[in-house]
Structure 1
Amino acid sequence: MKSPSPEKKVHVTGAPVLQLRAVSKRFGAVQALTDVDLTVHAGEVVALVGDNGAGKSTLVKTIAGVHPIDEGTITWHGDPVRLTRPQDAQTLGIATVYQDLALCDNLDVVANLFLGREKRSRGLLDETAMEQRARELLDTLSIRIPSVRIPVAALSGGQRQVVAIARALVGDPSIVILDEPTAALGVEQTAQVLDLVERLRARGLGVILISHNMADVRAVADTVAVLRLGRNNGVFSVADTTQEQIISAITGATDNAVTRRQARLTEEEDAA
């Protein structure tokens, strides 16, 4: 899969849309997050990475309003906000696409896009208006599916993923959170999803991308924020950082399989 060229990346300027400062979250005796910072600008893709149990899911759910924070500050365009339920985040302009997608297989694409946000005219569902809006949205994002009236069950994994992302955009959010959007997808389907992530950035949206796939992260992210054991363990510019540096921050060790392999290759090249 070909990585996007560096010039496609947007140079981020101006005040951040979303900022977390010293955010902490505890579940009983378990300290899930401790003094975590995160910053997202408009038109920026921030990859959130870390090993299993690093706190990525908890952090995302604090931003999505599922888990209210215990300590710290969340600001939206510089103003402090309190997110105590998912509706609070949605009202601000934060949309979250979880890994399970939460699509209804028995419904068509239009019905899934407007599920819970149906358009009505004189008390009746306005199918024509919803279908027109669905086509416009999918065309704007260059999403290719056979028909907006096809049942979601008939779509491929990549098509289902982009439909779930499109549904998140119906409410015109400013920040979109994508939880492992390319997990279990093939090469072509992954490329389709990553292309869509780039189009979200081009539209000026901030994107938080949770991923274990470093190739995907390096392909589309501007910034990588590493969590380790519920704490920040580095924020890196993709353009100026090697994969080995990011993996070292994730594992907490400077010596790992990637660095050892690189050392072996270097030794073999020197010997030759």
Structure 2
Amino acid sequence: MIPVDNHLHTRLCGHATGDAGEYLDSAANLGIREAGFCDHLPLYFLSPDKMIPNYAMDESDLPGYVSMVKNLALHTPVEVKLGIEADFVPGHEKKLEALLASYRFDFITGSVHFIDGWGFDNPAELAEYGRRDINTVYEQYFGLVQQAALTGLFDVMAHPDLVKKFNFRPTRDLRPLYEETARVFKSTGVCVEVNSAGLRYPAKEIYPGPGLLEIFLKNGIPVTVGSDAHRPEDVGSGLPEAIALIKNIGYREVATFRGRQIKFVDI
């Protein structure tokens, strides 16, 4: 049984397919009790002439997204939650805060996809790895993840080691970075998303990997789970493996949200 899938996208982001209702049909067929839509917040940190095509919804789409999710909740046996995934880019916190405050989300997920303007998880920008020191990339990434948590704007930190997506691995020991990140997460009260999408990419590993997840458990940081589905057939994909990993590490419950209040369900 999969208690929750807290990371579903919609085609409003431009790189997902299928009707939102089809995602919920897939969830219902899998016996998923709770589904959280978590589409990409508009790219508030870019000027209109710098927008990235097919990456996130336009700001004009945001009210419609909120209305769509709320309406879907009335027509499905699955408990539907209204979430949002917001990219963190330092220097734009005030604008992000104002945009998020305009809506009553059930949960707000923070993520890092850019390092100094470089979309490190974008296949179109893969060549940049060859021009950078991989150890420095990891240090920069985890530094940004920590900064994001410290804003206090987020309930959940998504795919916390996303930087491994294309399986570029550092040569340094990551434990100090992991420990530092866990301490920051603990101090801010954020929840960690155990995201199964890494199984579908070259890393072939859940985000976060076992070593990082063990450190999160040791620091008492709660977890939720999400498939990061961009197609209806991806709903729940890899979540049995994610639940198995969570239980093997030592967790006995996962977090869900309503009105930005956390609660827990046993696994």
The TM-score range, normalised by the shorter chain, is 0.3 to 0.5
Q: TM-score, normalised by structure 1?
A: 0.38
Higher relative contact order (CA 8 A, sep 6+): 1
Of structures 1 and 2, the larger Rg is shown by 1
- Structure with more of its chain in strand, by fraction: 1
